[in-house]
Amino acid sequence: MTQAATPVLDVTDLATRFDTQDGMVHAVNGVSFTLNRGEFLGVVGESGSGKSVTMMSLLRLIPIPPGQIVSGKAMFEGQDLLAMELEDLRSVRGGRIGFIFQDPLTSLNPVLTVGHQIMESLDIHTDIPEKERPDRAQQLLELVGIPAAKQRLDNFPHELSGGMRQRVMIAMALACSPRVIIADEPTTALDVTIQAQIIEIVKELRQRLGTAVIWITHDLGVVAGLADRVIVMYGGQIVEEATVSDLYSDPKHPYTRGLLGSVPRLDQKGLKLVNIKGQPPSLWERPASCSFAPRCPYAFDRCRAENPPLMDVGPGHKAACWWDVDNGRPR
Amino acid sequence: MGRYVIRRTLFAIPTLIVISLIIFAILDLAPGDPAANLPLTIPAEVREAIRESLGLNDPFLLQWLKWMRLMFINEPLHTIESIFNVCIGDCEARDRILSWSSRAPALDIIWQRMPQTLWVLGGAFIIGALIAIPVGIVSAYRQYSWFDNLGTFFSTIGFSVPTFFTGILAIIIFSVALGWFPSFYDTTLVVNSWDTFVLQVKQMIMPVVVLSLFNAAALARFTRASMLDNLNEDYVRTARSKGVGETKVVMVHVLRNSLIPVVTLLALQIPGIFGGAIITEQIFRINGIGQLLIAAIGQSDVPMVQTLTFIFAVLIVLFNLIADVTYGVLDPRIRYD
């Protein structure tokens, strides 16, 4: 991959905590990753694994307080997003990094028209004169495949179907031609057929516009068909990082194996649905040992004493595990 | 929307007729005799003749129908005649609703009393809303800050301490002890110079402040709660993710959504403040319609009480309709047609 040399976003050691009434929640614990220009990065993990909080922390979209970003650097176009003044960060939000959220009904403002909400971005980030903004908004809606786009500008979100609303969200995120789009489970709230359409739209737009995409999901099937590279998160940490083909053909982390094993299969009849035994980790403490150890069939003494860092396990393949699953011995 | 308003207005007519019948029935059941207030020297047969002349011996339904005829036919005709200065039919001898105690047309007295009530109540209502909504917005945005705590403190006091207590307290402190403001409201004061204007403001301050504290308390809490509901909504995060500044996030995205229930509450509060005025006017001696109602009840002045309560009923029905219509205007998800 030639693009590999030019990262557009470089995150190191990001940690986010939430100071709640019941105690400190360690949602993200030292996450580092890079996103290359035009790359499609999948981020998978179960609910509460910290995948959404990681991405929202980058643009400080988590509620602060109770949230706090404790450490980390996020270099984007030569600037550290986490150290930037909020005023400067605003020019990045929606301008150079676009966000698509999960539930398109609650994520759009119910009392403002679709047109208003798209043109708002244009107003903030571009110098398109006010008169030409409706035309640009219309083009954006056409780009994401909304029919009768001109009339749709005057519609309120509740007048559109779920799929149409998600297209509007995508149009909003694309409005200012961002370098990076972060999509937080954008298809979870949609029907399977609509899901497929949305995925097609994003795929096509990425090819046409060359935007890098971070796609957060818990659906391994979606990622398999879309991503170049995948990050697997567990307990607020990255446990495995690999190209999509490596990850599916040769997962190195026991958790990834468990995840892939628990995908229901239609082609083999009569198989029992496999699940990973045990509960997701509590995040009340910053993990001192491997947070997957209590559920891990391979766990041994070291796993319960020391938290494994992300180690190289192959070309472009990293895993945070003390056990070498291929050779059946500790690393 | 137009058809909806017409339909609702037509529905209001039977509602109001039933309300007027119920009011009339309650007044009929109430003890009290308008002739009882007359001097004891009046002989019994004269007293009986007075009762007869007031129509008190008529059957209940007939009395009500007579009042209905006066209220819905004679009074509107009289109003039209006096506005356009014309004479329709037998305008000289037309009966009007007469107050039993003063023998003057009830509606004329009400019109005389209305300005005092509107000045004080309208002032309190507007000032209350102007204070409450910004306080509610800031309190919600800076939840649990010292400002929010102070706002909560004052609105708890304002809401839980009744106006007849705060009113009397204000009179004792500012009129009796300090002598800053008059404790009586002088209705005969004509504002025609700077000095009389100052006097008018001075005599309005206490009732307006006492009443607006009460109105603002509930409204501020309501605005705060409504803002808090919306501040954590997903669309607020979306707005921030687009790079919208905080002021615009709050004033455009959140406020538009939060004001929907607040405006409805405001519209419904308007008839309510006329009720609240009954007490406040009594304390500050403002001879508005609240005091008129209390006096009329004391004198068993049935036509006056009936007419005033009916006007309150009309206001409640009208502002309910206004609340529903504004709801539809503010919230595009609601369509009435």
Last residue of a domain, one of B41, B74, B96: B96
Residue B155 CA: distances (Å) to CA of B169, B173, B212, B279: 17, 21, 11, 20
The rounded Cα A221 to chain-centroid distance in angstroms is: 15
Residue-wise pLDDT tens digits, A214-250:
988 887 878 887 888 899 988 888 888 888 888 888 8
Measured over the CA atoms of residue B213, residue B219, residue B225 and residue B230, the dihedral's sign is: negative
For A95, the closest of B234, B243, B332 (CB atoms) is B243
Q: With an 8 Å Cβ cutoff, are A111 and B238 in contact? A: no
The pLDDT of residue A268: 66
Measured distance CA(A215)–CA(B261) in Å, rounded? 37
Tell me: do B141 and B272 sit in the same domain.
yes
- Judged by a CB distance cut-off of 8 A, whether residue A322 touches chain B is no
Q: Which residues pair with A76 in a beta bridge?
A: A9, A79
Q: What is the C-alpha separation between A97 and A176, in angstroms, rounded? A: 9
If you ran DSSP here, which 8-state letter would residue A185 be given?
S
CA angle A5, A8, A9 (to 5 degrees): 115
Number of structural domains in chain B: 2
Lowest pLDDT segment from A133-137, B2-6, B187-191, B205-209: B187-191
Q: Where does a domain end: B47, B65, B96?
A: B96
Q: With CB atoms and an 8 Å threshold, state whether B238 touches A107.
A: yes
Checking ipTM against 0.90, whether it exceeds it is: no
The sign of the dihedral angle between the CA atoms of A107, A110, A114, A119 is negative
Q: Does the CB of A66 have a partner CB in chain B at under 8 Å? A: no
pLDDT digits (tens, 9 = 90+) for A274-326: 677 777 777 777 777 888 888 887 778 888 888 888 888 888 888 888 887 77
> Which of the residues B233, B235, B333 would you substitute to probe the A interface, choosing the one with the greatest number of A C-beta atoms within 10 Å?
B235
Q: Does B333 touch chain A (CB under 8 A)?
A: yes
A165 lies within 8 A of chain B by CB: no
Distance from CA of B237 to the nearest CA of A (A): 7
Same domain, B62 and B125: no
Asked whether residue B167 falls in the same domain as residue B73, the answer is: no
What does pTM read for this prediction? 0.79
Which stretches of chain B are assigned E, i.e. beta strand? none
Of B235, B243, B257, the CB nearest to A107: B235
Question: What domains does chain A contain, in order, with CATH numbers?
Answer: 7-96+176-330 (3.40.50.300)
**Cross-chain Cβ contact B241/A169 below 8 Å:** no
Secondary structure letter of residue A281 according to DSSP: P
Do B242 and A94 count as a contact with CB atoms less than 8 A apart? yes
B238, B319: one domain? yes
The CATH number of residue B118's host domain is: 1.10.3720.10
Compare all CA atoms of chain A with the CA of B143 and give the residue at the minimum distance: A65
Residues B198, B232, single domain; the answer is yes
Query: Percent of chain B scored above 90 by pLDDT?
Result: 7
Residue B26 within a domain: no
Which among A61, A93, A109 has CB closest to B235? A109
Count contacts between A and B (CB, < 8 Å): 73
Residue type, B107: L
Mean pLDDT of B62-80: 84
Cβ A156–B253 below 8 Å, yes or no?
no
> CA of B256, closest CA in chain A: separation in Å?
7
pLDDT confidence of B134, banded at 50, 70, 90?
A: very high
For residue B4, tell me if it sits in a domain: no
d(CA A198, CA A186): 8
Q: Are residues B70 and B155 in the same domain?
A: no
Q: Domain check: are B196 and B320 in the same one?
A: yes
- The residue range of the domain holding B74 is 33-96
Q: Does B122 score more than 80 pLDDT? A: yes
Q: Are B285 and B194 in the same domain?
A: yes
* Rounded Cα–Cα distance for residues B117 and B187 (Å): 11
**Contact list, B240 vs chain A (CB under 8 Å):** 61, 93
Instruction: Identify which of B197, B250, B193 has the alpha carbon closest to the alpha carbon of residue B224.
Output: B250
Residues B152 and B92 in one domain: no
Same domain, B182 and B57: no
